[in-house]
Amino acid sequence: GGDHTITYPILQALAAKHGPVGLVHVDAHTDTGDTALGEKIYHGTPFRRCVEEALLDRGRVVQIGIRGSSYDPDPYKYCREQGFRVVPAEECWMKSLEPLMGEVRAQMGDKPVYISFDIDGLDPAYAPGTGTPEIAGLTPAQALEIIRGCKGLNIVGCDLVEVAPMYDVSGNTALLGANLLFEMLCVLPGVKTL
């Protein structure tokens, strides 16, 4: 639950302890906007604020599932300029993400990593209960491949955000969110699974 703004103070605290961290970010949006309605802090700006405060190890940031409408002809330019790897949703369609996660593990190495998972990274057919749904997103199976693909990384924290149960009378979004959080707990360092 919560909007994506919550990741910003979490990363401030983690960077104070570990230094700049790597980031596996699953989302429909890059969340690197500068302002909205004159405000610098809102759910579409946390990762720009994190860059400005040097909270992220920019060469170890991967954003997966990015898509949706934009007011900019090159919506990922800022991210690329920061050294982020942007994996648009269309590069994920109809295939396993296990090979991608092998590349991500190599990129992250053994340094601290944070996982931030916005439920709108998934297609609204599976997770309609969110405030900013975008069509043609990831599947639940791909979400599991991403999270399970993080096993073995030096994960120092994780979140799952933007679940809005009031927008999904079926309860499926909340169910999916809870299960994805459970999966994140299972890949934390030192956790033994079957």
Over residues 36-59, mean pLDDT: 96
Asked if 30 and 76 touch (Cβ cutoff 8 Å), the reply is yes
> What percent of the chain has pLDDT above 90?
94
Select the more confidently predicted residue: 70 or 150: 150
Over residues 97-109, mean pLDDT: 98
Model pLDDT for residues 162-182, shown as the tens digit of each residue: 999 999 999 999 999 999 999
Q: Can you tell me the distance from the alpha carbon of 84 to that of 63, in angstroms, rounded to the nearest whole number? A: 7
* Residue 73: predicted pLDDT: 87
> What percent of the chain has pLDDT above 70?
99
Over residues 85-95, mean pLDDT: 98
pTM above 0.85, yes or no: yes
Over residues 129-151, mean pLDDT: 98
The CB density around residue 2, as the number of other CB atoms within 10 Å, is 12
Please give the CATH number for the structural domain made up of 4-187.
Answer: 3.40.800.10
Six-digit token string for 119: 């439920």
The dihedrals phi and psi of 168, each to the nearest 5 degrees, come to -140, 95
* Residue 193: predicted pLDDT: 84
Q: Hunting for tokens 């699974």 — which residue is that?
A: 193
- Considering the chain, what is the average pLDDT of its residues? 97
**Cβ neighbours of residue 96 closer than 8 Å, sequence gap 6 or more:** 142, 145
Residue 130: pLDDT above 80? yes
Residue boundaries of the structural domains of the chain: 4-187
pLDDT bracket for residue 1 (50, 70, 90): low
* Residue 32: predicted pLDDT: 96
